[in-house]
Amino acid sequence: KRMNKVINEKVKKELLFSNNLEDQVFADLIEEVFIILTSNFKIADLEKKVSIFVETNNGSKKHIEASFRGWLSLFRDTQRNNTNLKTLFEELKEIGFTKGKAQFVLKKYQEHEQALSKVLIGNTFVVNEIVDMQWKFGVSAGSNEFRQTGESFLQLKLVLQQGAEQKESYIELTLPQFYSFLKEMEKAKASMEQAS
């Protein structure tokens, strides 16, 4: 048994509210969560989106809100911690989701993974001034998933200025995530050079 669970008890309870939804409503909810995570949503917009979803699907407002909170939290944590998708799949099944729903969630996560990475990195840069940055490339020598053995990755260590304090933040990116990030940085550099 794994020691570190991806899904904590609070998030588990929130996620399970969505397990009883009809398949199409469940699919719509997951899609809405990814729209929220990959857009610049403000809290008021989020509350409005949830209210519209509740009205459209005749659901319990309390349960739908909890479901949104749970999925938002899970996907953010999955991205921040670079969680293995096989592990996420197994835990979703373990807490009661059908294989079909768990596979759907992973498929949608994979479709939106690069956009989630951009938002995560973008939020880090917007909120905090970067004082120093270090990086190193690595290759995974072993993994509980055969496909990941031999895959390259990039680890970033950022020193961020938060008010009067400095904080170290670590981000691990797969090569596709890194190249997507690099492309965005080059676009930003070109925009800044044009503006000056």
- Per residue in 81-92, pLDDT (tens digit) is 777 888 889 989
State the average pLDDT over residues 160-184: 82
Q: Which helix (H) or strand (E) holds 153?
A: strand 152-162
pLDDT at 192 over 80: no
pLDDT tens readout for residues 24-79: 999 999 998 888 888 766 666 777 888 888 888 877 888 888 888 889 888 888 87
DSSP state of 148: G
Please give the Cα distance from 176 to 43 (Å, whole number).
Answer: 31
Please give the Cα distance from 11 to 185 (Å, whole number).
Answer: 34
Q: Which residues contact 78 (CB under 8 A, 6 or more apart)?
A: 6, 88, 109
pLDDT tens readout for residues 84-143: 888 889 989 999 999 999 999 999 988 888 777 777 666 555 556 778 888 888 887 766
Pick the closest to residue 16 from 100, 94, 79 (CA basis): 94
